[in-house]
Amino acid sequence: MPELPDVEMLKRYFYVTSLHRRVSDVRVRDVRILKGVSASSLKRCLLEKSFESTHRHGKYLFAKTNREAVLVLHFGMSGSLRSFKDTKRDPKYDRILLSFEDGFHLAILSQRLLGGVWITDSKDTFLREHALGPDALSVDQKTFQSIITKTKGGIKSKLMNQKLIAGIGNIYADEILFQSRIHPLAESKELKDKDISRLYHKMNHVLQIAVDRHADPAQFPFSWIVSHRIETDKCPRCRGRISKIKAASRTSYFCSSCQNI
């Protein structure tokens, strides 16, 4: 689930459930989710503090405390957040449980343990250390253009490379390319300015619509290819057969007659 639009939803969820209230308990239920921070250090940074702001960059969620520490969350392929009041209802795959003085709890869930939890002094330091590119919804067109044309390689792997542009994963990369009518393996250096311009606008369009529709695929337009990620399905545009290939060792769905650039 968690690509940029999903993490944007999680940011809002964190905001409404967990801001401006004192953390009364921190339980680490599985230390494997912690990256570069010990359970005791995490507790020291969060206990008796409160979160005062949230921020998203790409697929990372940052929650700043009223002290130095910033909590950083990455959800991998199967992570989420769940707020609840009755601890008997503690959900499965709860790896970290934060309790607040208002009696509510926030569980950091991760079924497959692929994401991670960090503590950093500052978001910008963290972004630098992890060499993340600009956020896909904030990057300006000029920067995007130069990122795409500067290095060679297939366009899809480039869109998904978090060090170039942060936030796009396998699903949204397919959608953006479908709407831009560009083949996932197209050599990005070969793309014309007008193709990259279209790609830029479609990237913004797809991500923005996805956020507006609460990152819920059930609410996405039928004309999107996400709803047709099955080999036997038909292209919503030309009614031709959907193709399936491997690109960057991930499954790509696309329409070979519509995406021929």
Closest CA to 76 of 107, 113, 102: 113
Sign of the alpha-carbon dihedral angle for 138, 21, 96, 107: negative
- 18, 65, 120, 170: which one contacts DNA (CB under 7 A)? 170
Smallest separation (angstroms) from DNA to the CB of 30 = 8
Smallest separation (angstroms) from DNA to the CB of 172 = 8
214 part of the interface to DNA, by CB under 7 A: no
59 part of the interface to DNA, by CB under 7 A: yes
Smallest separation (angstroms) from DNA to the CB of 13 = 16
Closest CA to 7 of 111, 85, 100, 79: 79
15-23, 36-44, 169-177, 199-207 -> range binding DNA (CB under 7 A): 169-177
* Helix segments in 82-140, DSSP class H: 123-129
151 part of the interface to DNA, by CB under 7 A: yes
- 64, 72, 108, 169: which one contacts DNA (CB under 7 A)? 169
**Distance from C-alpha of 113 to C-alpha of 215, rounded to nearest angstrom:** 22
Q: Which amino acid belongs to residue 97? A: L
249 part of the interface to DNA, by CB under 7 A: yes
Closest CA to 25 of 79, 114, 103: 103
Q: Which residues pair with 99 in a beta bridge?
A: 25, 105
Residues near DNA (CB under 7 A): 1-3, 6, 32, 58-59, 74, 76-78, 111-114, 130, 151-154, 157, 160, 162, 169-171, 229, 246-251
